[in-house]
Amino acid sequence: MPAFRVEVRVMPRAALLDPQGQAVTHALHALGFAEVGTARMGKHLVLDVEAASRDAALTRARAMCERLLANPVTEDFSVAVEPA
């Protein structure tokens, strides 16, 4: 079965306060990177997945996000799939 590299990006929902992103923003400003408006911080997961097709890998990855990798109350996710 073909192998795919699945990248999952999980971010705190935009409407919710992101204290980690806020801390990073402050640190960047303190280092003189005044051009930074805001930084938001999330998670990046890389999965090696076997699937019949790219679409099949995408469908499975979305199911993984809905079941475990992201919490729909607090987070949004996006999935990118490419051949391994």
Do the Cβ atoms of 7 and 24 come closer than 8 Å?
no
By the rule CB under 8 A, 15 interacts with other proteins:
yes
CB 15 within 8 A of CB 75: no
Give the amino acid at 31: L
Smallest separation (angstroms) from other proteins to the CB of 25? 12
Report angle CA 23, 25, 26 to the nearest 5 degrees: 65
63 interacts with other proteins by CB under 8 A: no
Per CB under 8 A, 30 contacts other proteins: no
Q: Is 23 in the site for other proteins (CB under 8 A)?
A: yes
- Sheet of strand 43-50: strand arrangement: 43-50, 3-12, 75-83
Please identify, using beta-carbon distances, which residue of 3 and 23 lies nearer to other proteins: 23
* Interface positions with other proteins (CB under 8 A): 12, 15-17, 19-20, 22-23, 43, 68-69, 71, 73-74
